[in-house]
Each structure stands twice: as C-alpha cells, then as structure tokens.
Structure 1
Amino acid sequence: MKTHSKRQVRCHQWLTLLLLQTALSIPLSLQAAENSTTPREEIMQKQDSHSNVHSSTIHFQKVDNFRDVAGNLQPYQNNRGETLQQGRLYRANALLLSPEEAEKLASLNITHIYDLRTPGEIALHPDSEIPGATWHNINLLGWDDIEPVRVGFTQKPEITIAGAEEIYLNFVNDPITRAQIGTLLTSIAQNEGNQLFHCSGGKDRTGWVSALLQYIAGVPQEIIIADFLASNDYSRDSITQSFNKMANEKGVAAAIAFSPFLGVQDDWLLMAFAEAEKNYGSVDNYLLEGLAITPETKAQLREKLLMP
C-alpha cells in the first residue's frame, strides 16, 4: 500500500478543515493547525520574495485560474538572470466566459487555444468562442471522459491522493499522454502569436505543461513549485463552491474524500519530475526521448518564453 508524506496529509487536513468551515460554519481546529504551515501560507511566503505569483492583471468571473506562464505583475527570471517574456503564453481553466469576457480575452491577441480536456468534459462545458483564435483539442490523457475517475475519488481521501499521484506519474509513463504533451509543446513552438492552453481546473494537466515550459525557460525550481501551488489560491472560491456543491449532492463524506483533488499538492509535481529523472536520467532526456522535443524545438520555445 502507498504511504503518503506528512506534507500531503497536512495539505489534505488544511483543505478539508477550510472547506468544512465554509460549508458547515464551524471554527477551524487550532489543534490541527498547530505547528504546521498551510499550503496557502507557504504560497504567500513565496509571494513575499517573488511578488508576482498571485497578481493577475486581468480577471474573469469563472476562469479564475487564468494567468501568464511568465508571471503576472513582474516577469519571472531564470537561473541565468534572463527575464521571461509576458503576454506570449497563458494558462487557464475551462473558458466559460460571458460575451464581454470573451472580447476581453481576445484583446490579448491570442491566436491559438489548446483545450487539453477529454471529449466528455468538452461536451459538458464547451469553451466560449474567442474571436481571432484557432481552437485545438489535444486530449492530454487520451481518455473519453474523466468523470468515471472523479466518481472513484469520492470514496476515501487516500484513494483520491493515490489516484492523483497516478495521473501525475502517467504524465511521464503513459505513451499516449507523452505523445499528446509532445504534440502540444511542438505546436506552441511552431505556431505564431500569443497562445493559451487549458484543461478543466487549470491545475493538473495545465500545471504540468506550464511547469515544463518554465523548466525549459530555466526558471528556478522553487518558483516553478510556487507558481504550481498558486492554483490553490487563485481557485480558492471555486474550490469552496465545488466542495459545497458536492456536499449537497453526494454528502459531506464524499466531498471530503474528493477534496484533495480540488486543489494541488507540491508532492505531485515533484513526483512527476522525479519519475522523469528516474526513467530517463534527466528531465531534459524526458523531453527529448519521452516527448520527442528536439533541441530545435526547445530553442523555439525558449525564444517565445524569454525576452529578446
């Protein structure tokens, strides 16, 4: 049986207590919070030293996890002191926009949108049409639908965490997923203009792709992790709404069981990077051998990601 780190358990305890406080109007337990730092506090501490992690310059009502891969208020810098170029690559959750918001997004001159969701997810919540942008579906997981997996995540938190871990390991191990990630990165490298990629919550599939792009740009690991974890903060309100909706429809026990998958944990991202290093010797070899990202394609991506 898989064991889970103290950090994972702490993250799940924090999220569950937060959601229960909102859903049931009970105070947070001081005992559970004692001698621990919540993921949100860790994010905010990183924001103090990297002030751009959660300062979006554009907001949408339902697309709350929209942000610039290069950083929002101030652009990230890489390990060589080079500055990432803002306004070129964006990440988001599902594009459920009002007509006015669709025009606002179009004002960013986005030419290509990559929807990483399954056909089932798209049928349930299709993207709003963005004027001037070409829409592509690159089904990152290769599944018909993710809903059967989500149903399985309503049993126990341990099952949910193990299932989430499996998804992140599949980013490295599943040949269909690897091929789709490779197609996505190659398309981003070769297509012109500003581009956007997204999944449903903008945190797992989108989070892994964003982390890879930042890795290719040479962004320090601590900033990649902080940016990944920022999904918990950007999506704070929608996480609470999703928990309450599930609690009302399926019961509080099911909502608590599912709650780890409403956010993200840094262990999941680190596990995927570690799996890439274990199986390919390095993340660079994973990009080359696992995703078929050639040195030329990496150079094209760096050109898009970095200031000239």
Structure 2
Amino acid sequence: MRISRTRTATGLAISALALGTLPAWAAPAEPVAPTAPTALAAPAAPRHTSDTVRHIPLQGAVNVRDVGGHRTYDGERVRHGRVFRADALSDLTDADLDRVAGLGLKKVIDFRVPAEVQYDGPDRLPAGLSPTARPITDNGLFTQLITAIGSRDPVRQEEMLGNGKAAAFMHGVYRTFVSDSANRARFAATLRDIADSRSPLLYHCTAGKDRTGWTTYLLLRLVGVPGRTALGDYLASNTYRAAHDATLREQLKQGGLMQNPDLIIPLQEVRTEYLDTALDEATQRYGGFQGYLTKGLGLDARTILKLRDRMVG
C-alpha cells in the first residue's frame, strides 16, 4: 500500500483522534446529532446528498445504506461505494437483486446467528456472490422476541417485556458487543476485511441496527468521523425502519398475537442509551474506547491507517 507523507501524517492525527489520545479541546467542534425519530414517525424520503445518510431503497429490505458521505474531523469525506450496511437480505426481489448487483459487491458478511437464518432464510444475493457467515450473538434477543410473541399470552408478554425489561434486555445485548470474546473477534475481523479489501463490501444483521449499527459506529470513528456524526448515522435506523416496524406491530395486534405490541418498541429501536451502554462497558473493561479498539479488538495503528486510506478521500 502506498501512502503519501502528507496523507500518512493526516492519518496518524486521525488515528489519534479515533483512539482518544488527544484532549477533547484539540478536536474541532462536532455537529449536533439529529434527534432520533419515534417508532411511529413516517419514514424520511431517501437522501442522497453527500452531507447526509445515503439510503438505498429496496423492496425487500428497508435499512440498506452506503456508509460514505460523512465529513471527518479534518474536513475530508468518507468515500461512497466502498462499504454498505443493511438489514436482512432474505426477501430481496428480482429488481432488488439488479440494484444490489450494481453496487459491485465482492463480499457480504452476515452477522445473524443460525436461528435467525433458519427463521428468515439465507441471503438472496446476485449470482456469483455468497455470504460469509460471521455470527455475532444477540444475547438471546431473537429467541426472547419469538418466545414472547409466540406465547400469545398478554400476561406473560408483560412479564417478559414490560416495566423496562425490554430496554434492559437491549442494554445486555450491547454489553456483549464488548464483553464477549467471540463478538470482539468478529467485529475486528470485519474491520480488517474492510481495511484489506479493494472492492465494495456489505455487512448486515437482521434489522441492520444493532450489530450492524455498532460496526458502523466503530468504522466511522476509526476513520475520523466525529462521535456525534457517527451517532447520527446510528440513530438513522429509527427513520428507515419506522414504517416497517409500525406495520409489524399492527399485524401482531390484528393477528391476535399481542394485545399490546408497543411492548416490543424498545427491541425495535436504537437508542443513544444503548450505544452508551457499550461505550461504558468499554470504559469498565479497557479503560475507554481506545482500550477497546487496541486491546479488545486488537487493532493497531497500521490497520487504522489502512482503513483511513481505504475509506477517506
């Protein structure tokens, strides 16, 4: 890999920012993150300007996005067309497949655990493209949700999900992103794949919001995107999933599966507090975000420079 002297110096500075080694006052002011929409809000129209999230509308998936377009601390941009994030790709239509084929993907990483793949089906991808299974545990979230809904018992559902239990469960999911060694290894492997790849790559889970959201947050921070901007990208899942998730709740109610489907809203949403739980766990276990990246994920300065060179320009 050839990196100019100027670019290397810039990359080292960005790496320092990503690893948290510069004082807060040394970093440029960060833009304010957009407020997360409520689960019942109407979905925003796809946005394609370079300053916003680039949503890729498909019929069989609702949370597919190009990671590019965000500004870094030094005023450069994350490149479009290099890395994509998504929800499950099991239900892509033929028209969707044509659009996905146009992305030029050479690798698709599936974070779903086997139970999710069995329930929703394997990825449907353009010819010649096969998913790489890299399951990251959801801490039993999928099983919890299916068990609660499948019981059809409003009392049991309230016991399992009510009184803050659903949100507490999500906090537990995010702790495992940091505490579970297998999870750490798979997040790290994905970031190294991005650093080493010369072709477009996509990663996804079921909803494209938690495991996928955390991976994207890490990637954006590592290449020098301000924390509040990375948070805004994370929270945007609420916008793109809002209509789909509201429809699902209505179907659960109309189908007699749940009297109070709003119990699952904390499981459907992403929230700043969930992300903060993972960051707090990183502080407790590794002394902070820097320690999680270097000790927890085993990422060194060279890997971060490769990510920067690949993603920013």
TM-score category of the 2 structures, normalised to the smaller one: 0.7 to 0.9
Q: SS in structure 2 opposite 1:64?
A: coil
Corresponding residue to 2:273 among 258, 267, 270:
267
Whole-angstrom CA distance in 2 between matches of 1:146 and 1:190? 32
Say whether residues 1:141 and 2:141 are aligned partners. no
Alignment-mate amino acid for residue 219 of structure 2: L
What's 2:52 paired with? Answer: 53
The 1:159–1:205 alpha-carbon spacing in structure 2 relative to 1, beyond 3 Å, is: same
Whole-angstrom CA distance in 2 between matches of 1:152 and 1:304? 43
Whole-angstrom CA distance in 1 between matches of 2:117 and 2:95? 21
Say whether residues 1:304 and 2:310 are aligned partners. yes
How many residues are matched? 263
Contact 2:166 2:267 in 1 (8 A): yes
Structure 1 portions without partners, runs of 5+:
1-10, 23-39
Pick 1 or 2: higher relative contact order, CA cutoff 8 A, min separation 6.
Answer: 2
Deviation for aligned residue 1:290: 0.6
Contact 2:88 2:123 in 1 (8 A): yes
Say whether residues 1:77 and 2:75 are aligned partners. no
Deviation for aligned residue 1:65: 0.5
What's 1:34 paired with? Answer: none
Whole-angstrom CA distance in 2 between matches of 1:127 and 1:289? 33
Q: SS in structure 2 opposite 1:196?
A: strand
Whole-angstrom CA distance in 2 between matches of 1:110 and 1:249? 41
Structure 2 portions without partners, runs of 5+:
1-35, 150-156
Whole-angstrom CA distance in 1 between matches of 2:163 and 2:96? 36
Whole-angstrom CA distance in 1 between matches of 2:218 and 2:163? 28
Q: Deviations over 1:273-299 (max 9, x none)?
A: 232133212312211111122222222
Alignment-mate amino acid for residue 302 of structure 1: R
What's 1:293 paired with? Answer: 299
TM superposition score normalised by structure 2: 0.76
What's 1:104 paired with? Answer: 99
Say whether residues 1:224 and 2:220 are aligned partners. no
The 1:157–1:232 alpha-carbon spacing in structure 2 relative to 1, beyond 3 Å, is: farther
TM superposition score normalised by structure 1: 0.77
- Superposition pairs of residues 1-308 of structure 1, within 5 angstroms: 15=39, 18=40, 52-56=51-55, 58-70=56-68, 75-95=69-89, 96-125=91-120, 126-141=122-137, 146-150=141-145, 151=147, 154=157, 155-156=161-162, 158-247=164-253, 248-253=255-260, 255-307=261-313
Contact 2:53 2:67 in 1 (8 A): no
Contact 2:178 2:278 in 1 (8 A): yes
Deviation for aligned residue 1:249: 4.1
